[in-house]
Amino acid sequence: MSLIFQNLRKQYGSNVATDNVSTDFAPGMIHGIIGPNGAGKSTLINLTAGSYSLTGGEILLDGRRLDGQKKHRIAQAGVARTYQNIRLFDQMTALENLEVCFYATEGGGTWKEVLWPPYEGRQNARRRDRAMEMLRLFDLQSYAGAEAGSLPYGRQRMLEIARALVMNPRVLLLDEPAAGLNHHETAELTERLARLRHPDLIMIVVEHDMDLVMSLCDRIVVMHHGKLLFQGTPAEVQASPDVQLAYLGTSDDIDDIKAAAASRRAKLGLRGRRRS
Amino acid sequence: MAVAETISAGRSRVHPAIAWAVLAALVALIAVTPFLPNYYIRVANSLMIYILLGIGLNIVIGYAGLLDLGFVAFYAVGAYTYAMLSSAQLDLHLPLLAILPIAACLGAGMGILLGIPVLRLRGDYLAIVTLGFGEIIRIILNNMDWLTGGPQGIARLDKASVLGVEIARPAEIYGLLVVTVIVAGILVWRLERSILGKAWAAIREDQDAARGVGINTTTAKLAAFATSATIASIAGVIFAASQRFVSPESFTLQESVLIVLMIVIGGIGNILGIVVGAAILILLPEVLREFSEWRVLFLGLLMVVLIILRPAGIVPRSLGPDKLIRGLFGK
């Protein structure tokens, strides 16, 4: 059982963002999606999470159709995600950002919580413990009471991943998790993500940072002009003449891509500093 | 260092002495008011009805971040429910305790009715549609003469009574209002801290990301509209019972705007702020009666000064009841 894409197609008017993409993502592995800007990588993430609706094809998680369902239902089915531009609940504390995720399963008990304080006490304590545990996993416990928007940029990235994981998702979609991070933070991120590897978790990382992708991922999907160009292990991807020709081109282009990634980082980094 | 500061700022609390002084002053004020002349009790009653309305509207505006300008419609629903079920209008004379649940259900139903069409709207668009809704209800009340008495309204409503105790004089209404405001305040405050309250905050912060963590924004928003409308409807019942007269004139757009102003001036998203905001907007005109023609100017000036000096309101969100309680008990 796994996450399966069948002939995914997303079209905006006459503009085709992804075309006939079919692949599958096995649990227990870290999957990378790479490709130049506009290749349709983020579109795949947004389609899976239900942020965009499909024009054609099917997305199946453990045999169940995900596409066409409401976004919150997809989340409840076990698909968690992070965003390219961090989207935390800025004015809520780091702890609350995680606690609120329990609404999906426990929102129905709200009135019982309001009217019966002992029940609320138990529920709150349990949610708090689970959320704190997750914060500790990401070394964020000292920020628990701080507003999410006031955290340093790098910590906001970590908090967003922690928020995605707090409900034990089946699928974790990371949309450029290293964007805006410095070298040191990227190394920390790589190490943390590697430790998240779990037999039941399907992890998909969209990323421009080639070093991160090549060292972290078990399998890589290469997108080009909305089409799936190649998939395989990092070594196979690096060795593939197709990929080199169409995506990496000559060795000069690798430097171009690295430079583009660096400038992208710098841009997002600026935003991060402004926010904090 | 910066981290430690952030966290300690998050945990800072009101000084116990100040917290106790505020609480003592409030209790003393509540205890003394029924023995004042009727005029003062009436002002206090009107103040508490607005506090109740503010607590209700704050759920939608302050917690869920949805600007609702038609709130007064739910207030009207409650008031007319009492007027029709407890007067010669339909020759029904139900007791207050029977009308309250009926009005609460009607209010909740109307809240959901308004909520469904505006689910997709936010910000300005939402404000415009809700504003229209408020006007529609007022105009319906104005034109359905055979049922609502039209512009003349419904007069000579029954005196309210609870379990055989008559509640008609200002001091008696005052007692009913104190109980209602305290119960509503505590329930709504607990609601704010509940998991649903957090979901509302998440919707306010980023609706799309809220869906992304599995929050059904449709039901959460409808819950906000329904609870806030219920409170407004109950406020309307008590208003009608105290005036023993209702007419569409009491439910104009200006009332909705006044309640929004109370919330914004007092401190959006904070029950304590609403009490302060209501006190300022209801008591100030009473104190400055001789200058009543300047009233709107005063309000405008107050808004401008506040926007410059305290954009988050007089009592900001961060200084909520939790902090007051921690101050009281030093926990």
Task: Give pLDDT, residue B10.
Answer: 44
Q: What is the band of A242 on the pLDDT scale with cuts at 50, 70, 90?
A: confident
State how far residue B39 is from chain A, nearest Cα, in angstroms: 36
- Within 8 A of B198 by CB-CB distance, chain A residues are 92, 96, 99-100, 103
Residues 77-96 of A with CB under 8 A from B: 80-81, 83, 87-93, 96
- Within 8 A of A156 by CB-CB distance, chain B residues are none
Nearest CB to A114; choose among B11, B191, B198: B191
Q: What is the band of B6 on the pLDDT scale with cuts at 50, 70, 90?
A: very low
Residue A89 has pLDDT above 90, yes or no: yes
pLDDT digits (tens, 9 = 90+) for B236-268: 999 999 999 999 999 999 899 999 999 999 989
Task: Give pLDDT, residue A250.
Answer: 56
**Best of B188, B191, B195 to mutate (most A CBs within 10 Å, chain A):** B195
Give me the mean pLDDT over the B117-131 stretch.
Answer: 90
Residues 219-248 of B with CB under 8 A from A: 219-220, 223
Give me the mean pLDDT over the B76-97 stretch.
Answer: 92
State how far residue A128 is from chain B, nearest Cα, in angstroms: 11
The answer to ipTM > 0.90 is: no
Task: Give pLDDT, residue B18.
Answer: 83
Residue A129 has pLDDT above 70, yes or no: yes
Give me the mean pLDDT over the B144-156 stretch.
Answer: 90
Task: Give pLDDT, residue A268.
Answer: 61
Task: Give pLDDT, residue B331.
Answer: 54
Q: What is the band of B300 on the pLDDT scale with cuts at 50, 70, 90?
A: confident
pTM for the structure as a whole: 0.89
> From the CB of residue A14, how many other CB atoms can be counted at a distance below 10 Å?
5
Residue B9 has pLDDT above 90, yes or no: no
For residues B152 and A233, what is the distance between their CA atoms, to the nearest angstrom?
A: 80
pLDDT digits (tens, 9 = 90+) for A8-41: 999 988 888 899 999 999 999 999 999 888 888 9
- The DSSP bridge partners found for residue A59 are A5
Higher pLDDT, B56 or B331: B56
- Within 8 A of A87 by CB-CB distance, chain B residues are 206, 208-209, 212
Residue B244 zone, left/alpha/beta (φ > 0; ψ -120 to 50; rest) = left
Q: What is the band of A247 on the pLDDT scale with cuts at 50, 70, 90?
A: low
Least confident window among B161-165, B185-189, B263-267: B161-165
pLDDT digits (tens, 9 = 90+) for B188-232: 999 999 999 999 999 999 999 999 999 999 999 999 999 999 999
State how far residue A146 is from chain B, nearest Cα, in angstroms: 5
Task: Give pLDDT, residue B4.
Answer: 39
Task: Give pLDDT, residue A171.
Answer: 96
B275 touches chain A (CB under 8 A): no
- Within 8 A of A102 by CB-CB distance, chain B residues are 195
Residue B8 has pLDDT above 60, yes or no: no
Closest Cα in chain B to A77 = B214
Closest Cα in chain A to B317 = A91
- Cβ separation of B212 and A70 shorter than 8 Å? no
- Cβ separation of B195 and A103 shorter than 8 Å? yes
Give me the mean pLDDT over the A148-172 stretch.
Answer: 95
Q: What is the band of A269 on the pLDDT scale with cuts at 50, 70, 90?
A: low
Task: Give pLDDT, residue A276.
Answer: 36
Residue A270 has pLDDT above 60, yes or no: no
What DSSP letter does each residue of B93-145 carry, written as one string?
A: E--HHHHHHHHHHHHHHHHHHHHHHHTT--HHHHHHHHHHHHHHHHHHHHH-H
B210 touches chain A (CB under 8 A): yes
SS3 B85: helix
Q: What is the band of A220 on the pLDDT scale with cuts at 50, 70, 90?
A: very high
Residue B1 has pLDDT above 50, yes or no: no
Closest Cα in chain A to B201 = A92
A71 touches chain B (CB under 8 A): yes
Q: How many CB pairs under 8 A join A and B?
A: 124
pLDDT digits (tens, 9 = 90+) for A186-214: 999 999 999 999 999 999 999 988 889 99
